[in-house]
Amino acid sequence: MSDSSSPYTLLARSSECAARRGQVRTRQGVFETPVFMPVGTQGTVKAVTPDNLAEMGAQIILGNTYHLFIRPGHRLVERFGGLHRFMNWKGSILTDSGGFQIFSLKDLAKITEEGAAFRSHLDGSKLFLSPEDAIEVQQALGSDIMMCLDTCIPYPATREETIASTELTTRWARRCRLAHSRRDRLLFGIVQGGMHADLRQRHGQALIDIGFDGYAIGGLSVGEDKEQMLAMIEATVPVLPAEYPVYLMGVGTPEDLVEGVWRGVDMFDCVMPTRNARNGSLFTSRGRLTIKNARYRDDERPVDEDCTCYTCRNYSRAYLSHLYHAREILSYHLNTIHNLHYYQNLMRQVRAAIEKDAFAAWRKDFYSKLGEE
């Protein structure tokens, strides 16, 4: 059920929407989709170990080209046998190209046809990253899935600005494809186009003409409202080839994941579960729980009575509240284990529902429980 040149295999499809269940093959193995990828920007998923990630069922994590390029340097990581060995992670690794980080540091960066000239956010030193450099760095890191260097579009942006930026991303994508010498590493193109459906569709087709191992939807969750974001997903996914994986970058909440799957997305990443954990915001099957609230000071229950994570099996809300208010490092660790487990379990439930062709009913039940906490 897959194109012989594609890493994606379709296993099941919903009869009620665009949701689908599949697998993606990398040189490191196979991961199941739809999938959520914990973000390990600097060679670590904050506050947890690789063993913690494996125990909760994480199959693939994300690293970042920009940050690892600056520190500790891709050549050092390469000397240690690549990022898998360097950080002791046995699953697959996807690396973002660094385009979004350069965009977010726009006061320190200058984008030209050749690439991005920028200053390190650490020490201000002058650096340069071209499309070819982005591929070289990712190949040195040993990434299983590499991303093309793209130019992110601010929100709001004029149509003219969006066209110019998107066309530059297309030219960079061609250069990335030509620089891609390690064909055992997958390379994904990134669809841009701002908040213009026609530009996203046009750009998707331009990337298909170049030819990639998968296609990502970038430039969303940058300030637009949810309706705009979902409209851009709906406009983009049908243009992309069904026999290849589709990745929605940097999105988002549990609800965003459910809606993305409904519209045909296979892969997701976001810092939300780890960042929220450090801020004391915990995801549950009945909505978010803010552990610093006084009501949890003497609450004997686990975070989520439906959860089987290490944290919920062993600790009360009262203890987690104490750790948070005492600013203990263990608070980060236990909260992060719970939030990432929640996201992994959410995807397990999604995959099971699609296999049974019951995703619409599962989605309705998912929303009916929110707000009960």
Domain ranges of the chain: 8-270, 277-366
Beta bridge partner(s), residue 37: 269
Sole residue written with tokens 């439906």: 306
Contact of 281 with 288, CB cutoff 8 Å: yes
Give me the mean pLDDT over the 209-226 stretch. 97
What is the SS3 assignment for 62?
A: strand
The topology (CATH level 3) of 8-270 is: TIM Barrel (3.20.20)
**pLDDT level of residue 210 (50, 70, 90 thresholds):** very high
Instruction: Report d(CA 99, CA 113) in Å as an integer.
Output: 14
Strands 287-290 and 281-284: antiparallel
Q: Note the pLDDT of residue 107.
A: 74
Q: Quickly list H helices, the chain.
A: 50-55, 65-70, 74-79, 83-87, 99-104, 131-141, 159-179, 197-210, 226-236, 254-262, 272-278, 310-314, 317-325, 329-355, 359-369
Percentage of residues of the chain with pLDDT beyond 90: 91
Q: Note the pLDDT of residue 1.
A: 43
**pLDDT level of residue 371 (50, 70, 90 thresholds):** confident
pTM over 0.85: yes
Give me the mean pLDDT over the 109-137 stretch. 92
Sole residue written with tokens 């890493």: 7
Residues forming the active site:
96, 269
Instruction: Report d(CA 239, CA 317) in Å as an integer.
Output: 46
129 or 101, which is more confident: 129
Q: Note the pLDDT of residue 372.
A: 61
pLDDT over 50 at 281, yes or no? yes
Beta bridge partner(s), residue 20: 13
> What's the mean per-residue pLDDT of the chain?
96
Instruction: Say how many CA atoms lie within 13 Å of 132 toward its Cβ.
Output: 5
In the chain the first and final C-alpha atoms are separated, in Å, by 42
Of 106, 104, 105, 84, the closest CA to residue 95 belongs to 84
User: Residues 180-198: pLDDT tens digits?
Assistant: 999 999 999 999 999 999 9
